[in-house]
Structure 1
Amino acid sequence: MTTVVKRSGTFTETEIDDEIVVMHLGTGEFYSLAGTAATIWRLIDGTRSRSDLAIELSGHFASQGADIGFDVDAFLGQLAAVGLVDVD
């Protein structure tokens, strides 16, 4: 099982209403996470795998499992590409 972890020390975050704003400390770039992206970000706690995230997400949103898995993979890929998460 591959665990997804946030790269502590590389970002700061704040929650404003239903949105999470993440600032990458190395680049100064801001990322606005809302809806599904915010839910996934909240679920990344260092104990869940990519599969666990997809299963948990399916409980929050009515969607097909394959669609959710694809969306989770795409989002995690984006987060990893900018250095905010590691998939161990």
Structure 2
Amino acid sequence: MYDSYMFEVAVSEARNRLAEVIEESTRSGEPVSVTRRGRRVAVIIDPDSYDELVDAAEDALDRHELELARAENDFIPWAEVKADLGLE
């Protein structure tokens, strides 16, 4: 998702400039890849992007669980739920 424009910084540099690296990620909204020996070991992202990613992951999990429940016929139809709650 982000790899095409992700800024990269070595762990040692990130350690020395952590506040600047965090500020750059927050300001730009782009993630910063932290590497050790050329391999990515962490990613710094701004809090809003993190929240969006978590929300999207939770939504995807909910949709997947719904698909499984429907496949097993283990769900309550919406019309029945509305009737039980007195919404009809």
Normalised-by-shorter TM-score class: under 0.3
Q: Which has the larger radius of gyration?
A: 2
Structure 1 or 2: larger helix share? 2
| TM-score, scaled relative to structure 1 | 0.25
